Structure 1
Amino acid sequence: MSSYIFKRLLLMLPTLFGVMLVTFAVIQFVPGGPVEQMVAQLQGRDAGGEGAAASGAGYRGRQGLDPKRIEEIRALYGFDKPAPQRFWEMMKSFARLDLGRSFYQHKDVWDLIKEKLPVSISLGLWTFFISYLVAVPLGIAKAVRAGSRFDVVTTLLVLVGYAIPGFVLGVALLVVFGGQLQWFPLRGLTSPNWEQMSWGARIVDYLWHITLPLIAMVLGSFAVTTMLTKNSFLEEIRKQYVLTARAKGLDERKVLWKHVMRNALIPIITGFPSAFIGAFFAGSLLIETLFSLDGLGLLSYESVIRRDYPVVLGTLFLFTLIGLFTKLISDLSYVLVDPRVKF
């Protein structure tokens, strides 16, 4: 086991290096970087301010601007150095867990992540727990009643929910329950006067705001876990040891919960680490944008649009590192759940 863990840890290094190298290389060919944006702003002012920019005279590449000033801008953002040197310096700072400083928000990337993380954690925790608390019991019930009307109807409902994109459902929820009926707020995670409320009122206000985003995020995640649970239980129920236990006269509930449950939940339990971490960092971009929730998804989107490369590369490095360790923990959990598994 120790040698396997050591090999996996060593393999993380080239994987992480390759992810960062490919992303860094792609960024070099993306137009409209921070230097070009700063030049466009300066030319817009030099050409007559907002009116000139609006008339199309604001952005003219690098024409009409002093080359020395352009070099100063390049040096300001660190683009005066060759790309291999910039990549090497970036990786050395990342190795010290120094993720750099945002070009436009003038804050450390770590500080930005800490600011946005509570929103993503809030959405991620609720999504994870609600999905599993509903999907696993539902999958077990479907396996026990396989082929019944209950199984067919719930399968249809789950697959319809899975087929509807989260952002489409979010728009529908906003229009109906936020706009027409006005039962729920349209944006934000709390009300503006949240800090002046009592603790009980804060909890109610928070749950009131988060209801629609959670419905939009959770509904689509039910299908995979539900069907995985159902198929896993059906596979175990049809095995010989279950037939033997029934032939011995054991109670059906005892057979299900004592014998089948232990083996059927192995693929579900081992997926907990990746699902738990993934709930924080994946799938919330459109929901956060739609409901004006200032989380990590919205931060990543705005950073890409603004070409805020320190934030893009810093968050990518952190999330990739977390993903690699989570994958290792997920693989090791197989041994903890089922000692028969050998690597």
Structure 2
Amino acid sequence: MLQYIIKRLLVMVPTLLGVLTITFLVTQFIPGGPVDHMLAQLDGHGARSGADTGESATGGWSYSGRQGIDAAQIEQITALYGFDKPPLTRYWEMLKNYVRFELGDSYYHHQSVASLIQEKLGVTVSLGVWIFFLTYLVSVPLGVAKAVRAGSRFDTVTTLIVLVGYATPGFVLGILLIVLFGGGSFWDIFPLRGLTSDHWHELGWGGKILDYLWHITLPVVASVVSLFAMKTLLTKNMFLEEISRQYVLTARAKGLSERQVLWKHVFRNTLLPLITGFPATFIGAFFTGSLLIETLFSLDGLGLLSYEAINNRDYPVVLGTLYLFTLIGLLIKLLSDIAYLFVDPRIKFTAQES
């Protein structure tokens, strides 16, 4: 087991290196980098509205060249962003810093990338934790209930509901929830900005919890509904497959109750494919699709930070967040593999010699 973990940790190194190398090449050599972005702002184009430049007002900019900009000023800005060094030098410096988890400083926010991530992480974690746990807390029991009642009206109706939810994009559902419950056209029940109210610090503990839940309800519902279908139907199908096996008939013949058969024997064997989906669900809950939800509900999290970084050519933020996200994803995948042993000790990670 220890040998397997060491091998997996070693494999992470070329994976991270490949991701960083490809991203570095793309970000460093595409036109319109951070130097040109800054020069465009100095030239006055970056300050125009979207109507004047043909770009959207949310960070869009246009640039027609470096004409009219003093050469010394261009040199100074180039050195400020480190682009006066050869690309290979910048690449090796980046790798050395990342080994020490020094992610550099943001071009746009003028603070360290690590502090930026720490500042925005709370919003994304709040959403991700709720999405991740609600997905399993709802989908697994519902999938079991559908398997036990396979072919019934309950099974048909719930299948229709989860498939409709799966087919509805999160941002579309979010807009619908805003229209219905966010003061759009019907009821003004839930707030649409931030995770807490302005007077949150003045509330007691009970009031703080209720205020937080009040703010988080619509974003979580919009994010989690589309995730239910896959896990629910996977759980149902796995249960149906396991229920038909011989050991279930043997367990029933021994006089075990239906609850013992389902939860002690069938459920344990069904956990394997569910655990397999942990990494994808975790990454999806925390990092995938958060941009639209955060923008829609005015939540200042990592999704919005990543979008702004790409739009503003803030390459330290782009590379730093990608480095951390990739590393977290690889570690979560390793943890899910290790969790197999707790579910089924028969699993062996080392190759058996003949």
What's the TM-score once normalised by structure 2's chain length? 0.90
Structure 1 letter corresponding to 2:93: E
Q: Is the 8 A contact 1:173 1:212 kept in 2?
A: yes
Q: CA RMSD in A?
A: 2.1
Residues 131/80 of structure 1: CA separation in 2 closer, same or farther (3 Å cut): same
Aligned to 2:4: 4
Q: Is the 8 A contact 1:187 1:293 kept in 2?
A: yes
Aligned to 1:65: 69
SS in 1 for 2:29: coil
Per-residue deviation, 1:205: 1.6
Aligned to 1:103: 107
Per-residue deviation, 1:281: 2.5
Aligned to 2:192: 186
The 5 A counterparts of 1:45-84 are: 54=52, 59-84=63-88
Aligned to 1:113: 117
Structure 1 letter corresponding to 2:16: L
Aligned to 1:41: 41
Residues 243/50 of structure 1: CA separation in 2 closer, same or farther (3 Å cut): closer
SS in 1 for 2:256: coil
Per-residue deviation, 1:236: 0.7
Aligned to 2:59: none
Identify the range of structure 1 (92-101 vs 281-290) with the bigger mean alpha-carbon deviation.
Answer: 281-290
Is 2:304 the partner of 1:295? no
Query: What CA distance in whole angstroms lies between the structure 2 residues aligned with 1:328 and 1:50?
Result: 48
Query: What CA distance in whole angstroms lies between the structure 2 residues aligned with 1:116 and 1:307?
Result: 19
Structure 2 letter corresponding to 1:308: D
Residues 202/249 of structure 1: CA separation in 2 closer, same or farther (3 Å cut): closer
Residues 77/237 of structure 1: CA separation in 2 closer, same or farther (3 Å cut): same
Per-residue deviation, 1:305: 0.8
Structure 2 letter corresponding to 1:202: K
Q: Is the 8 A contact 1:274 1:330 kept in 2?
A: no
Q: Deviations over 1:25-55 (max 9, x none)?
A: 111233322101111122229xxx969x958
Gaps of 5+ in 2: 55-61, 350-354
Is 2:330 the partner of 1:310? no
Aligned to 1:125: 129
Structure 2 letter corresponding to 1:98: E
Query: What CA distance in whole angstroms lies between the structure 1 residues aligned with 2:140 and 2:297?
Result: 28
Aligned to 1:31: 31
SS in 2 for 1:265: helix
Query: What CA distance in whole angstroms lies between the structure 1 residues aligned with 2:11 and 2:271?
Result: 29
Query: What CA distance in whole angstroms lies between the structure 2 residues aligned with 1:55 and 1:109?
Result: 30
What is the percent sequence identity of the aligned residues?
A: 67
Aligned to 1:239: 245
Aligned to 1:138: 142
Identify the range of structure 1 (60-69 vs 242-251) with the bigger mean alpha-carbon deviation.
Answer: 242-251
Residues 252/303 of structure 1: CA separation in 2 closer, same or farther (3 Å cut): same
Per-residue deviation, 1:164: 0.1
Q: Is the 8 A contact 1:135 1:222 kept in 2?
A: yes
The 5 A counterparts of 1:320-339 are: 320-339=326-345
Identify the range of structure 1 (107-116 vs 248-257) with the bigger mean alpha-carbon deviation.
Answer: 248-257
Query: What CA distance in whole angstroms lies between the structure 1 residues aligned with 2:52 and 2:221?
Result: 41
Per-residue deviation, 1:118: 0.9
Structure 2 letter corresponding to 1:137: P
Per-residue deviation, 1:159: 0.7
Aligned length: 338
Per-residue deviation, 1:195: 1.8
Per-residue deviation, 1:79: 0.6
Q: Is the 8 A contact 1:125 1:279 kept in 2?
A: yes
Residues 333/270 of structure 1: CA separation in 2 closer, same or farther (3 Å cut): farther
Query: What CA distance in whole angstroms lies between the structure 1 residues aligned with 2:267 and 2:44?
Result: 67
Q: 1:155 pairs with 152, 159, 171, which one? A: 159
Residues 269/44 of structure 1: CA separation in 2 closer, same or farther (3 Å cut): closer
Query: What CA distance in whole angstroms lies between the structure 2 residues aligned with 1:41 and 1:149?
Result: 62
Aligned to 2:180: 176
Q: Deviations over 1:304-333 (max 9, x none)?
A: 111110000011111111111111111121
Per-residue deviation, 1:106: 0.7
Residues 228/54 of structure 1: CA separation in 2 closer, same or farther (3 Å cut): closer
Per-residue deviation, 1:273: 5.5
Q: 2:213 pairs with 207, 217, 234, which one? A: 207
Aligned to 1:259: 265
Q: Is the 8 A contact 2:37 2:313 kept in 1?
A: no
Q: Is the 8 A contact 1:217 1:287 kept in 2?
A: yes
Query: What CA distance in whole angstroms lies between the structure 2 residues aligned with 1:278 and 1:196?
Result: 34
Q: Is the 8 A contact 2:279 2:329 kept in 1?
A: no
Q: Deviations over 1:273-305 (max 9, x none)?
A: 653454223331110011000111111111111
Per-residue deviation, 1:24: 0.7
Is 2:283 the partner of 1:280? no
Structure 1 letter corresponding to 2:181: F
